[in-house]
Structure 1
Amino acid sequence: MRQLLKKIRSTGRVAEPAPERAGDGDVVLRGSVQVRHVDAGSCNGCEIEIGSAFGPVYDGERYGARLVASPRHADVLLVTGPVTRNMAEPLRKAYDATPAPKRVVAVGDCARDCGVFKGGYGVEGAVGDVIPVDVVVRGCPPEPPEIIEALRGLTGR
């Protein structure tokens, strides 16, 4: 027991090294990415494709992307739909709760520019109008391989 305490005292505190930065100052995500999906007001077409992307056929987890239940555990927010007035503040809170370094992926045309919902009375705006967006996946809805490719691009896999 004394040897263990002596070793602990001599080692001191050990922390993870600071995240590596790319040439443009962005933090490079390494290893697997933890993904939190946020539906900001979509028609659920993109959710079906996300479900397929993480299902047995496309299996997004084999590339190191894993869905998590809390933004506090996430590296990436996967946001779908135009941001409705009721979801603007919860989306900001989810973004603030996600620890740095964090990335935001806007999935679908509605997340990119409100799509067919543009100008609707209940629409706050696109995802980029509410929180900063790093990657956009185009399509209505985008296909599962495109979603997986966007997530793979975040880690370089």
Structure 2
Amino acid sequence: MYRILKKIAATGLLTEPPPEPDERLWLARQALSEAAWEVVGRSLAIRHVDAGSCNGCELEIHALNSPYYLLEGLGIRFVASPRHADLLLVTGPVSKHMEQALQRTYEAMSEPKRVVAVGDCGCTGGLFGESYASCGRVANVIPVDVAVPGCPPTPVALLQGLVTALGRPMPQGAFQARREEQT
């Protein structure tokens, strides 16, 4: 035990510095908040369904609730019932066992229904594709309004997908600089 404590004391803290404020993230958050109030007339309620994913996309969705992205601060929340939801967020390829549950969830939502397919698996079926155990992409089971590709997509890409699902264009500088950095 003494050896472990000595190693801890010698190593010190190994944490990352906090991220710097990002103007693009602020623009995306502002666009999402404004779009939610204009389209829905109140805070946006999201129902998330895991249709058979590996949980990589879920980790990024959970990051949206972190203090850095702070969806709750915008009035956007995840709800347990599709009857309370304005938007359906679906991750993973739809397994045969989840096909009926996903259809029922979609049918239980009130109009207008907005569906966002998240991740490569939700958009195209990913590695799993269509097989005896998988229906493939979400669009094979229910209508999809917006697809957010990536394995897994970043939280910022998820924010962009939510804004697009609400039928609002992104502000000019929100993601343009980010795309230039990646090329």
In structure 1, the partner of 2:17 is none
In structure 2, the partner of 1:108 is 119
Which of 110, 127, 150 aligns to 1:139? It is 150
Which of 27, 37, 47 aligns to 1:36? It is 47
> Structure 1, residues 77-107: CA drift from partner, whole Å, max 9, x if none?
0000000000000000000001111100000
Alpha-carbon distance in structure 2 between the residues aligned to 1:107 and 1:69: 18
Unmatched tracts of structure 1, length 5 or more: 1-27
Is 1:81 equivalent to 2:95 in the alignment? no
| 3-state SS of 1:115 partner | coil
Give the RMSD, CA atoms, in angstroms.
1.9
Shift of 1:56: 1.6
CA contact (8 A) 1:65 1:151 kept: no
Alpha-carbon distance in structure 2 between the residues aligned to 1:155 and 1:60: 18
Shift of 1:152: 2.6
| 3-state SS of 1:104 partner | strand
> Structure 1, residues 30-83: CA drift from partner, whole Å, max 9, x if none?
442110000000000000000001222211233442111110100000000000
| 3-state SS of 1:55 partner | coil
Q: Which amino acid aligns with 2:58?
A: E
Q: 1:155 to 1:60 in 2, by over 3 A?
A: farther
Please list, as runs of the form range in 1=range in 2, the aligned pairs for 1:2-41 lying within 5 A after superposition. 28-41=39-52
Alpha-carbon distance in structure 2 between the residues aligned to 1:58 and 1:137: 18
Shift of 1:121: 3.1
Alpha-carbon distance in structure 2 between the residues aligned to 1:64 and 1:138: 25
Q: Which has the higher helix share?
A: 2
| 3-state SS of 1:112 partner | helix
CA contact (8 A) 2:123 2:149 kept: yes
Alpha-carbon distance in structure 1 between the residues aligned to 2:151 and 2:159: 16
Report runs of 4+ in structure 1 exceeding 4 Å deviation.
none
Q: How many residues align?
A: 131
In structure 2, the partner of 1:125 is 136
Shift of 1:155: 6.2
Alpha-carbon distance in structure 2 between the residues aligned to 1:75 and 1:106: 15
Is 1:150 equivalent to 2:161 in the alignment? yes
Among the aligned pairs, what percent are the same residue? 53
| 3-state SS of 1:94 partner | helix
In structure 2, the partner of 1:13 is none
| 3-state SS of 1:57 partner | coil
Unmatched tracts of structure 2, length 5 or more: 1-38, 171-183
Q: Which amino acid aligns with 1:92?
A: Q
Is 1:70 equivalent to 2:49 in the alignment? no
